[in-house]
A and B are shown apart, each in its own frame.
Chain A
Amino acid sequence: MLLDFVDAVLTGDDWQRREARTAVLDTLGPTGLVDAAGVVANFEMMNRIADATGMPVGKGTLRRTADWRARLGLDRFNHL
């Protein structure tokens, strides 16, 4: 339900957004809906800042995640 909400907000039309909003509201209540909207909004900001400034992933994070990045094949997405 939360994933559907994010998808609808960022890629959906008005009808899809309304449906997804109603689902979150029915399940998590008004504060859940506002918080979900806030988190999407915040990462819309942070994603743009990271992309526009060329923010590298920290060495500590790279070290800690090396094993599961290799297992999931995520290193092939290193486009920078």
Chain B
Amino acid sequence: MPFDFASAPVEVRTDIRRLFRREWDRLSLAGTWWSGRERVDIAGAARTARFGGERSPSALSSVAMEAAETTSARPASIRKEWVERVAEEIGFPRYVEIVGITSRLAAIDTFHQALGVELEQLPDPEPGKPSHSQEPQARAGAAWVPMVGGASITQALSLVDAEATAQEDMHGPLYLTYEGMAELDYVGGLSRAQMELVAARTSAINECFY
């Protein structure tokens, strides 16, 4: 079974193992704008860009590949003009779905690295067609991609609802739920102050100015 963490130096909580399995299921299935085959290929390109290795053969367009590789391995280099150029080729919804896939893969792979565990093999894609589900309430605003409501990190992927949901699903078990972020005196395995220290250092190394 994937994500059993048998070689981890510590027991990994069941909610995290369940979360990662759910994400692997999501990755393998057709999404909103990409098929299961394309989603797994996007993840493969993202992983290769980040860790090296040979590019696997893929039917993805060069722009989609570039988006997967850049959002995975060089996110701090991204500028508005680049996002607009990519969106002109593949559209904002497809770009947002790529961002969702590569950002959650980065979280899962980093968790493995942190515990000294081999990366999980990517899942086999499942057949099926993308839903092409539109988000009629999404609007262009202060951010670089359309979203529902004002520009907010919790709404960042809301142009593709399934990706925003998956982001929120990941956020709780790995850090805090959106509601739980208001609990400044939270104490788990780390105190809230220790969590924020780790978060700030991570963001500084990644040169994330947000």
Q: Are the CB atoms of B106 and A50 closer together than 8 Å?
A: no
Q: Are the CB atoms of B107 and A44 closer together than 8 Å?
A: yes
Instruction: Name the residue of chain A whose CB is nearest to the CB of B205.
Output: A10
Query: 1/0 contact trace for B87-123 toward A, CB 8 Å?
Result: 0000000001001101110111011011110000000
| A65 close to B (CB within 8 Å) | no
Interface size of A by CB at 8 A reads 48
| A40 close to B (CB within 8 Å) | yes
Given A38-B16, A54-B83, A33-B209 contact (CB < 8 Å): no
Distance in angstroms between the alpha carbons of A17 and B115 in the assembled complex: 8
Main secondary structure of the interface of B (DSSP, over half): helix
Distance in angstroms between the alpha carbons of A5 and B116 in the assembled complex: 12
Main secondary structure of the interface of A (DSSP, over half): helix
Query: 1/0 contact trace for B133-162 toward A, CB 8 Å?
Result: 000000000111101000111001100000
Given A21-B9, A36-B198, A54-B205 contact (CB < 8 Å): no
Instruction: Name the residue of chain B whose CB is nearest to the CB of A43.
Output: B202
Residues of the B chain whose Cβ atoms lie less than 8 Å from the Cβ of A38: 16, 111, 173-175
Query: 1/0 contact trace for A34-45 toward B, CB 8 Å?
Result: 111111111111
Q: Are the CB atoms of A53 and B203 closer together than 8 Å?
A: no
Q: Are the CB atoms of A35 and B189 closer together than 8 Å?
A: yes
Instruction: Name the residue of chain A whose CB is nearest to the CB of B114.
Output: A37
Given A9-B113, A49-B156, A42-B99 contact (CB < 8 Å): no
Residues of the B chain whose Cβ atoms lie less than 8 Å from the Cβ of A11: 205
Q: Are the CB atoms of A48 and B75 closer together than 8 Å?
A: yes
Which of A51, A52, A78 gathers most chain B CB within 10 Å? A52
| A6 close to B (CB within 8 Å) | yes
Interface residues of B in 62-85 (CB under 8 A from A): 71-72, 75-76, 78-80, 83
Q: Are the CB atoms of B114 and A48 closer together than 8 Å?
A: no
Instruction: Name the residue of chain A whose CB is nearest to the CB of B170.
Output: A45
Given A10-B206, A25-B9, A41-B111, A51-B189 contact (CB < 8 Å): no
Give 19 CB contacts A-B under 8 Å. Answer: A6-B205, A21-B114, A28-B189, A32-B189, A33-B9, A33-B189, A36-B194, A39-B199, A40-B110, A46-B208, A47-B202, A49-B99, A50-B210, A51-B210, A52-B71, A53-B99, A56-B151, A77-B209, A80-B79
Chain B residues proximal to chain A, CB less than 8 Å: 9-13, 16, 71-72, 75-76, 78-80, 83, 96, 99-100, 102-104, 106-108, 110-111, 113-116, 142-145, 147, 151-153, 156-157, 167, 170-171, 173-175, 188-190, 194-195, 197-199, 201-203, 205-206, 208-210
